[in-house]
C-alpha cells in the first residue's frame, strides 16, 4: 500500500493503475478510521482494482466554533486499518496541497446545502462539496464510496456529481453500528461513559420510527412526534433536528414513502451526533 501526499503523485499512481486495474475507487475520510470506514473500503475493494483512501481533516467544513483543532488524528493506526480492509493507496495531503496559497474556488450546492446539517452548520456542505470535488478530480475515480450515516452529505454530493458531470458513480454503504445500536462515528471518542449511554437515544429514536413505519404509520407528524417522545426520555440530550425528508431534495414530506429519509441530530454534551434510516 502506497502513501502519497501530493495530487501529482496521486495522479501518477492512479493513471498507471487505470491501465492495469480498470476501475479506480475512492473512499474519502477524515481519518480516525473505524469499522464504518473499513466497510466502505471493503465495498470498494470488491468493485475496484485500485482503492484510494483519502485521509484529510478538511478545515473548510468546520465552523469557527467547531472541533477542527481537536478532531481525532491517528494516522499510523488508520494506515493499518485501511491496508487490512484492502486499500491500495492512502492519499494524505497537507492543507496547503488541497488549498494552495490564495485558494478562492469553492463548490456551492445551492438549496440542499442549507438543509438538515447544513442548517445548523452554515458553510459545512460548501466545505464538503469543495473537498470532495477536489478529490474526485484528482483521482479521476470511477466509483466514490460514502456512508449512509451522513445521509444529507450523500444528497449534496449526488447533486454535485450530477451537476458537474463528474465521471464518478456515487456508491452508498449501510450504517455500521455498535452491538447496542450506536452508529459508529469518529466523534464517539469524545463521549464520556455517561454520555455514551445517553447517546443511545439517537438510535432508539431511529428504531422506533422504523418500527412504526413498518407497522403502517406513514404520517410524518406521527413519526416525528414518536421520535421526539423517545428523545424526551433523555432531557440531557439536546435535539438539533428530527426530520422526515425526500432524500434527493432534503425537503420535508408529509407522508413517508419507500426511500424517504428519516434523520436526527442531537447534542450529547458538546458532541453533535447524527443518525438516520431510509424508510422501507
Q: Which of 25, 36, 86, 127 binds ligand AMP (CB under 6 A)?
A: 36
What's the N-to-C CA distance of the chain in angstroms? 39
Q: Binding to ligand AMP (CB under 6 A): which residues in 223-262?
A: none
Minimum Å distance from CB 126 to ligand AMP? 15
By the rule CB under 6 A, 40 interacts with ligand AMP: yes
Number of residues that bind ligand AMP (CB under 6 A): 17
CA distance 73 to 77: 9
Q: Of 16-24, 34-42, 96-104, 261-269, which part binds ligand AMP (CB under 6 A)?
A: 34-42
CA distance 59 to 71: 10
- Specify the pairing of strand 261-268 against strand 237-245: antiparallel
Question: Is residue 34 annotated as a catalytic residue, yes or no?
Answer: no
Question: In terms of CB distance, is 210 or 217 closer to ligand AMP?
Answer: 210
Q: What single-letter DSSP state applies at residue 184?
A: P
Nearest to 76 by CA among 95, 88, 90: 90
Question: In terms of CB distance, is 37 or 212 closer to ligand AMP?
Answer: 37
- Cell (9 digits) for 72: 481525532
Number of DSSP helices (H) and strands (E) in the chain, helices first: 10, 9
Nearest to 24 by CA among 12, 14, 16, 37: 14
Q: Which residues contact 215 (CB under 8 A, 6 or more apart)?
A: none
CA distance 254 to 81: 42
By the rule CB under 6 A, 125 interacts with ligand AMP: no
The site map against ligand AMP for 126-165 (x = CB under 6 A) is --------------------xx-xx---------------
Nearest to 91 by CA among 45, 62, 55, 127: 55
Q: Which of 7, 14, 25, 29 binds ligand AMP (CB under 6 A)?
A: 29
Q: Binding to ligand AMP (CB under 6 A): which residues in 160-179?
A: 173, 175-176
Question: In terms of CB distance, is 25 or 147 closer to ligand AMP?
Answer: 147
By the rule CB under 6 A, 263 interacts with ligand AMP: no
Q: Binding to ligand AMP (CB under 6 A): which residues in 179-208?
A: 183-186
Q: Annotated catalytic sites, by residue? A: 37
Tell me which residues touch ligand AMP (CB under 6 A): 29-30, 36-37, 39-40, 146-147, 149-150, 173, 175-176, 183-186
Amino acid at each position: 500500500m502506497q502513501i502519497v501526499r501530493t495530487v501529482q503523485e496521486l495522479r501518477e499512481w492512479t493513471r498507471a493503475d487505470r491501465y492495469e486495474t480498470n476501475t479506480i475507487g475512492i473512499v474519502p475520510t477524515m481519518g480516525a478510521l473505524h469499522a464504518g470506514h473499513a466497510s466502505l473500503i471493503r465495498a470498494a475493494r470488491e468493485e475496484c482494482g485500485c482503492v484510494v483512501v483519502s485521509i484529510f481533516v478538511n478545515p473548510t467544513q468546520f465552523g469557527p466554533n467547531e472541533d477542527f483543532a481537536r478532531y481525532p488524528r491517528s494516522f499510523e493506526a488508520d494506515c493499518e486499518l485501511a491496508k487490512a480492509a484492502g486499500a491500495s493507496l492512502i492519499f494524505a495531503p497537507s492543507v496547503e496541497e488541497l488549498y494552495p496559497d490564495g485558494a478562492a474556488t469553492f463548490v456551492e450546492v445551492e438549496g440542499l446545502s442549507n438543509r438538515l446539517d447544513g442548517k445548523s452548520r452554515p458553510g459545512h456542505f460548501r466545505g464538503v462539496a469543495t473537498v470532495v470535488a477536489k478529490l474526485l478530480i484528482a483521482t479521476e475515480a470511477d466509483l466514490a464510496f460514502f456512508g449512509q450515516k451522513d445521509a444529507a452529505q450523500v444528497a449534496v454530493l449526488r447533486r454535485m456529481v450530477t451537476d458537474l458531470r463528474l465521471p464518478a458513480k456515487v456508491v452508498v454503504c449501510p450504517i455500521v453500528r455498535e452491538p447496542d445500536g450506536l452508529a459508529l462515528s469518529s466523534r464517539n471518542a469524545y463521549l464520556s461513559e455517561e454520555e455514551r449511554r445517553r447517546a443511545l437515544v439517537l438510535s432508539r429514536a431511529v428504531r422506533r420510527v422504523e418500527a412504526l413505519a413498518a407497522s403502517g404509520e406513514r404520517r410524518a407528524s406521527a413519526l416525528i412526534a414518536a421520535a421526539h417522545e423517545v428523545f424526551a426520555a433523555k432531557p440531557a440530550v439536546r435535539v438539533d433536528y428530527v426530520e422526515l425528508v425526500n432524500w434527493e431534495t432534503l425537503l420535508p414530506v408529509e407522508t413517508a414513502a419507500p426511500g424517504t429519509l428519516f434523520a436526527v441530530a442531537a447534542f450529547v454534551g458538546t458532541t453533535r451526533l447524527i443518525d438516520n434510516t431510509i424508510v422501507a
